[in-house]
Structure 1
Amino acid sequence: MLTREMVAYSHGQRWHYQRLDVEQVPFIWHYHPEFELTLTRRARGMRYVGGDVAPFGELDLMLVGPNQAHTWQAPRRVDGALHQVEVIFFTREWIEELAAGALPEMTGLAQWLRGAQNGVEFSLPCAERMTALFDRLKNARGLTKLGCLLEILDGLPRDHGARFLAGARNPDVLDQRIELALAWLHQHYREPVTLADLAAVARTSEATLKRLLREQLRDNMSGLLGQLRIGHACNLLITTQLQVQLVGEQSGFPSPSHFYKQFAAAKGLSPGDFRRRYHLSHRQNAARDNLDTPGLRFRYRIGEPSAS
């Protein structure tokens, strides 16, 4: 199930930083209206951002767009070392307010963020440059901490090796009817769902809901439902030994043929080939040969789905 995470701001700040050292992190889909910049150290595995599934290495820097479903997952390392995860949350509105007022130097960053709504995977050289800044951010206080944050953000558009994720643009602020529909869909995507069901939850007509999904998410109900089901299926294929047919069934697909067709169209691989390439047992065996355990990271503070 995909849940909405509530970011806890403190001391009147318009951004939030946190660092965790964890043994492992479970696979859990979540989303929130803020941008999320995540630096991961000492972990290997797979990263899920929207419809994008990609491996990551010992050092990884990723920007997740607002209202974008995402997750990492990381099992324990063989050597017992902890995964180090550092996360910065911020909104584009805050950056644009600064650019329009006290800090016009941030105009370039504000413009760059408009094209980064679907997420950005940064190059390894960029991640390496950022590690020292994240170390400073962790220990800094007051204006020094804010200055360090702005230096980190200012460096993001300078990475010419960054990979911009494809997909529909995600708006920073969703219509309340879309919020209601998404919150319900994220809980029931493994069940039979109709547009009429979703419209009733959103307290609007089917025609209006279709228009809102198209205008705000550049998608339709079938597309959103498919993304959630494919994401769930990816998790089962990677972390379990369930028969492929049961994976499709437990992910909400109405028939095996529909599952195979939709999965291959989304991932470019059959479910069986995807499992053979990414299953954790295979990756852990490969890791032991290198005295390291690849894994997947995911988030740790999960809130309840929002209905508003």
Structure 2
Amino acid sequence: MLIREMVGQTFGQRWHYQHLLVERVPFAWHYHPEYELTLTRRARGMRYVGGDVAPFGELDLTLVAPNQAHTWQAQSRADGQTQEVQVIFFTREWLEQLTTGGLPELTGFADWLRKVQQGVVISEACTRRLVPLFDRLHQSRGLDRLSCLLQIFGQLPRDNEARLIGGAPAPEYQDKRVETALAWLHEHYRDPVTLADLAGVTRSSEATIKRLLREQLQDSMTGLLAQLRIGHACNLLITTQMPIQLVAEESGFPSPSHFYKQFGLAKAMSPAAFRKRYHLRRAAQEDAPAMQSSLIRAQSD
């Protein structure tokens, strides 16, 4: 199930920092109105951001745009090491206030954010350069911590190898009816949903909510539903041996044929091919010989 995550503040500031040490990163499909910049270390698995599903490696830094359904998923490591996750949440409103209220140096970062669609995957080279700043961010407090944050912000637009995740750019202003529609779709995407249902929830006409989704998200209700359902289906394909027809049903698709068509359009491969390529148990089995070889070399050294 996809949930609306509540994000707090860090020492009274209008941004929030989290640090987690975990044995594994579970699938937890969620969204929130804040930007999220997440650094994962010593983890390997799948990253889901909106309709984008891709593998990630031992070091991954990704920015997620507001209200985009997302999660990371990684199994426990064979060597027993913990996986580290550092997360920075912030809002566009807070950033704009800083930019206009005395920190015009942030203008470049604010302009770069306006180009962000569903998210951005930062290149490995840039991520490695930023790791020392994330270390300082975790260890510091007060102005030193804020300084680290601003230095991270300053580096991101300089990454010419970053991969933009497709979709509509986050709007400068979002109608409350669109926020209501997104929240309701995130909660009910596995149920049969009609435009009339969405119009009723938002207290608007079908034509109005259809127009608002197109204007502010450059998408339709069916497009948003497909993203959420395919993300859910990808998780089931990767983590279970559930029959594909049941995966389609559990993800909210009205029929297997519709699921196959939508999945093929989104992923350019069949559900079976996706499962074969990315299934976590299979990936773990393939990684095991490499891990064992690495341990043997370390012992011989």
TM-score by length of 2: 0.94
Q: CA–CA distance in 2 between the matches of 1:178 and 1:271?
A: 31
Q: Secondary structure at the match of 1:80?
A: coil
Paired residues of 2:116 and 2:170 also in contact (CA < 8 A): no
Q: Which residue is 1:267 aligned to?
A: 267
Deviation, structure 1 residue 167: 1.1
Contact 1:2 1:30 in 2 (8 A): yes
Q: Paired residue for 1:220? A: 220
User: Corresponding residue for 1:35?
Assistant: 35
Structure with the higher fraction of residues in helix conformation: 2
Shift of 1:211: 1.1
The answer as to 2:158 corresponding to 1:177 is no
Q: Which amino acid aligns with 2:71?
A: T
| CA distance, structure 2, for counterparts of residue 279 and residue 200 of structure 1 | 39
Return the offset for 1:247. 0.8
* Cα drift, residue 115 of structure 1: 0.6
The alignment partner of 2:74 has SS state of: coil
CA deviation profile, 1:155-182 (whole Å, cap 9, x unmatched): 1011111111111223365322222222
Distance in 1, Cα, partners of 2:171 & 2:240? 34
Alpha-carbon distance in 2 for matches of 1:267, 1:172: 29
**Following the alignment from structure 1 to structure 2, what is the Cα–Cα distance between the partners of residues 98 and 63?**
20
Q: C-alpha offsets along residues 32-77 of structure 1, whole Å, 9 cap, x if unaligned?
A: 1111111100001110111111111111111111111111112211
Q: Figure out how many residues of one structure are paired with residues of the other and give that number.
A: 292
RMSD: 1.3
- Residues of 2 paired with 1:166 and 1:185: CA distance? 20
Amino acid at match of 1:100: T
1:49 and 2:29 equivalent? Answer: no
Contact 1:213–1:220 (CA<8 Å) still a contact in 2?
Answer: yes
CA contact (8 A) 2:237 2:279 kept: yes
Distance in 1 separating the partners of 2:286 and 2:52: 23
Give the fraction of aligned pairs with identical amino acids, expressed as a percent: 67
Matched, 1:249 2:249: yes
Give the structure 2 partner of residue 295 of structure 1: none
Say if 2:117 and 2:167, in contact at 8 Å, map to a contact too.
no
Q: Deviations over 1:71-94 (max 9, x none)?
A: 111221111111100001112222
Q: 1:99 and 1:117 mapped to 2: Cα distance?
A: 21
Contact 2:114 2:169 in 1 (8 A): no
- Equivalent residues of 2:114, 2:170 under 8 A apart: no
* Counterparts of residues 1-308 of structure 1 (less than 5 Å): 1-171=1-171, 173-291=173-291
Check whether the contact 2:117–2:166 (CA below 8 A) recurs between aligned residues. no
SS of alignment partner, residue 227 of structure 1? helix
Query: 1:48, 1:54 within 8 Å by CA — same for their partners in 2?
Result: yes
Q: Name the structure 1 match of 2:295.
A: none
CA deviation map 1:278-302 (0-9, x unaligned): 011111101111228xxxxxxxxxx
Moved more, 171-180 or 201-210: 171-180
TM-score, normalised by the number of residues in structure 1: 0.92
1:222-253 CA distances to partner (integer Å, 9 max, x unpaired)?
A: 11111111111101100110111111111111
| Counterpart Cα distance in 2 of 1:99 and 1:251 | 42
**1:133/1:152 contact within 8 Å kept:** yes
CA contact (8 A) 1:36 1:63 kept: yes
Higher relative contact order (Cα pairs below 8 Å, separated by 6+ residues) = 1
Which runs of 5 or more structure 2 residues have no equivalent in the other structure?
A: 293-301
Q: Quick check: 1:66–1:117 contact (8 Å CA) kept in 2? A: no
Deviation, structure 1 residue 117: 3.5
The alpha-carbon deviation at position 263 of structure 1 amounts to 0.4
CA distance in 2, matches of 1:180, 1:224: 14
Amino acid paired to 1:279: H
C-alpha distance after superposition, 1:12-40 (max 9, x if no partner): 20211111000112212111111111110
User: Are the counterparts in 1 of residues 44 and 75 from structure 2 also a CA contact under 8 Å?
Assistant: no
2:288 is matched by which residue type in structure 1? R
Q: Which amino acid aligns with 2:73?
A: Q
Quote the Cα distance in structure 2 between the aligned partners of 1:267 and 1:17: 33
